[in-house]
Structure 1
Amino acid sequence: MKTPVHVVGGFLGTGKTTALTYELSRREGKERCAVLVNDFGEAQIDATLLGGQLRVTNIPGGCVCCTAPEGLVPALTAILDELKPDRIFVEPSGLGRPKDIVDMLGRSPALAHRIVLGPTIVLVDPSRTPPDASLFAEQLDAADVLVANRCDLADIDQMAAFDRLAASLWPAPIFVAKVSRGRMPEAVWSWPDGSGPRASGAAIDHDHDHGHDRGAERPASTEGFRARSWVFPPDAVFAWDALRELVSRTPGVERFKGVFRTELGWYRLDLAGGVVHPAATAFRRDSRADVIVTGDVDLDRFDAHLRAARLPDRDPDTLDATAVVLVDASGLEIPLSRGALMALPGQVADVGAVAPGKRGAGVSLAEVLLLAGEGARYVVSAGDGFTTPPAEVAGVGRAVLVHSLDNGALPEGQGGPFRVYQSEGSNCANVKAVARVRVLRD
């Protein structure tokens, strides 16, 4: 039986630790629990709280997208092997991004058959303004469950502001709670019927009418308009170019809102006023879309094209591990073998200069991107489907694509045969088993 894992996020001071302490005490004598935190300084949970039934494991502080690949999966594996818990709670740093934890857990072959992810819970304090609006927006996107904590300290206007915030979110959280002292209801820890498990690999039945992977037509609120909605399972991957083509070039589409997992990562795709607005998103629950059309638009035809944009399931055995594929802005693919990478200018003899404590030799990622010609942004994809958020080509800095270790190929156990390191600037990335680097026009 798989062990439930719950990611509990939120800024410092939102009461994550108080909420976890309450939840752990509530389960005392009923379940053996473990807690994984990003920094002991932020989660003073007493390991003796439950009389030996609790284990607290620390992942050292720092950027969670960089520390997680090295510490998170081994720490969870050790907990599963040694403690055999009934439930695990993961509390990232207050400045952490829950989606990074979800992505890491979802892509780990070592954990695929051992854990099941519960809804991601994000706590907010309605009486305080978050210090980082951009990070706050990411945390809200990632929230399957949104919890207003410390409500006893908020006034009427602040609670009204929280209600407006929760109502503005699309896709909406599956559960919104208002609590004090972290006392969340039991319902927040489980997926409702028809949702999740998000990254466990469990199949979702597509053959009966419960809304998953099926278009559900409904009357729009205005005469002459029609609407349809879709929800696809979280392991479905769509072709980015095909989605943009469908949404932007179908006459009669008045409004389109979608969140999709694509080969370039997770994106929100909106059409309003005839203009397509794409944006990276931290949402991970599923892929979904709402469309409103007018006139004689054939919704069944639209449905067929949307389904045709879904890519076949990835077969790891068919991937070419001997080369990194560079894709330029026009879609042209350029395979780069280890020898080709070693022949490029900009060789880095010691990757430790970029990632202290790491070993290996590589080439400046900037030199690799130059081969693709013009482009504003780029994404790096691993062989297992993990994709970094789009990053500015101009901000690539000292990033290194590692291709060698001790005059041989970079071993798989070290993240090879190709790996990207960048530990500074806005393009922070650490990607093992790199398969593709794609350059985007916008």
Structure 2
Amino acid sequence: MKLIAPQKAVPTHIISGFLGAGKTTLLKQLLSQKPEHEVWAVLMNEFGQIGVDQQLLPQQQGYQVKELLGGCLCCSSQLPMQIALSRLLSEAKPDRLFIEPTGLGHPAQLLEQLTEPHWHTHLSMRALVTVVDGSRLHDQAWTQQNLYADQLKAAQIIVVSHADQMQAADEQALIQLQQEYQAYAQKWLKAEQGHLALTEMDIPYVGTQRKIQPLLKLQQKVSSTNLQESAEIKQLPYHYVETAQGYAVAGWKLPKRWQFDFYPLLDLLCEQQDWLRIKGIFYTNQGWKSFNFNPQQFNYQSTDEGIDNRLEIIYQSERDWEKFEAELLAYRVDAAAVLD
């Protein structure tokens, strides 16, 4: 695939958000701010085979809109997305580009693709935006879905849509949500009826400092040289640490087939000290369970089947997680545990 380099790297915005959050409404409002002499382009992705959103965007001169239909450009093969994006850049030669992935997408994966070295001379990535529906923040069944959380974590800017429709419960939920994600040092903006100045979003993308490594017990088994060569991994299981603005997040992602003894697991989480937030989802011998702890309240409940076991602990002071991980893994009860 041959890329035709533009005169300069194109400022590129990813506008993500869960289903019905108001992404397209925000995008329309941002497009209305286009200077007359510029050409702006939009790459949209719809999960289904019939495109609707494209028809809602400006069709007049100065805009180029292209849709990718069927599947998710974040998760599926990169080739269709790269071909579509390359053609859009070479044919439209835009001064600014917006990418709107499907509401079922994982924007962090898309951002990872677009920040690869071969795109550096073509795209100037701006802060990733996630739109959340402010009028639905009180609905925990909506906000506690794994995909919803993944989209929030990926964001550098979070835009709260339908701000004029928020009730007292939504305002309180927004405060709690901001506290929960304070470790990610995000910028929060309210948009009433989709109105937001592009200048508030037109800031460079800054990558989160994330160190992904094998599980701590596996790191002990290899030499420092070998570990350095194999530390950056993506396959499960793995351990990671993210840092931002004086906060840190210690996380674990473990295979879906791993099953844990619920009550010892619950005790382990409750016994932890000096943390700001604990969130997790685990496959246990009592079924799938979600955990959502803050210093004032320990919540856990049955939940839908997850795609993996996962846990995140937000903290400030330095900690040695080896003992914690050893206890966590000791509570596996699946048949394969004795072989690992």
| TM, length-normalised to structure 2 | 0.59
Change (3 A) 1:68 1:144: farther
In structure 1, the residue matched to 2:97 is 88
Provide the residue aligned with 1:26 in structure 2.
33
Structure 2 residue corresponding to 1:62, chosen from 47, 56, 71: 71
Query: 1:248-300: per-residue Cα shift (whole Å, max 9, x none)?
Result: xxxxxxxxxxxxx95113834529838999989xxxxxxxx975259xx9xxx
- Pairing 1:15-414 to 2, within 5 Å after superposition: 15-39=22-46, 40-48=51-59, 51-107=60-116, 109-128=117-136, 129=139, 130=142, 133-191=145-203, 196-198=205-207, 232=209, 239-240=213-214, 263-265=232-234, 267-268=240-241, 270=250, 273=272, 292=317
- Counterparts of 1:12 and 1:123, CA distance in 2: 10
The RMSD of aligned alpha carbons is 3.7
Secondary structure in 1 matching 2:52? helix
Worse overlay, 57-66 or 21-30: 57-66
Cα drift, residue 94 of structure 1: 1.2
Matched pairs, number: 237
Letter in 2 for 1:44: Q
Whole-angstrom distance in 2 between the partners of 1:86 and 1:243: 49
CA contact (8 A) 2:13 2:98 kept: yes
Aligned counterpart, 1:6: 13
Give secondary structure in 1 for the equivalent of 2:99. strand
Identical residues among aligned pairs (%): 27
AA matched with 1:270: A
1:143–1:173 contact (8 Å) kept in structure 2: no
Cα 1:87–1:68 change in 2 (3 A) is farther
Q: 1:242 to 1:186 in 2, by over 3 A?
A: same
1:119–1:189 CA contact under 8 A, matched in 2: yes
Aligned equivalents of 1:244, 1:291: Cα separation in 2: 25
Change in CA separation of 1:190 and 1:132 when aligned onto 2, cut-off 3 Å: same
The CA distance in 1 between the partners of 2:84 and 2:173, in whole Å, is 39
Q: Residues 329-375 of structure 1, C-alpha deviation per residue, up to 9 Å, x if partnerless? A: xxxxxxxxxxxxxxxxxxxxxxxxxxxxxxxxxxxxxxxxxxxxx97
Separation in structure 2 between the aligned mates of residue 173 and residue 165 of structure 1, nearest angstrom: 12
| Equivalent pair of 1:146/1:173 in contact (CA under 8 Å) | no
Q: Which runs of 5+ in 1 are unaligned?
A: 199-230, 247-260, 281-288, 298-373, 377-439
- Structure with the bigger RCO (C-alpha within 8 Å, sep 6+) is 2
C-alpha contact 2:153 2:184 (8 A) present in aligned 1:
no
The TM-score with structure 1 as length reference comes to: 0.46
CA contact (8 A) 1:99 1:142 kept: yes
Give the aligned residue type for 1:32. V
Match for residue 308 of structure 2? none
Contact 2:74 2:107 in 1 (8 A): no
AA matched with 2:187: F
Task: Give the direction of change, closer, same or farther, for the CA distance of 1:30–1:158 in structure 2 (3 Å limit).
Answer: farther
Kept in 2, the 8 Å contact 1:150–1:180? The answer is yes
Larger helix fraction of residues: 2
Structure 1 residues 138 and 293 mapped into 2: Cα distance closer, same or farther (>3 Å)?
closer
SS in 2 for 1:102: helix
CA contact (8 A) 1:15 1:149 kept: yes
Q: Distance in 2 between matches of 1:172 and 1:12?
A: 23
Correspondence for 1:204: none
Q: CA deviation at 1:47?
A: 4.3
Q: 1:64 to 1:167 in 2, by over 3 A?
A: same
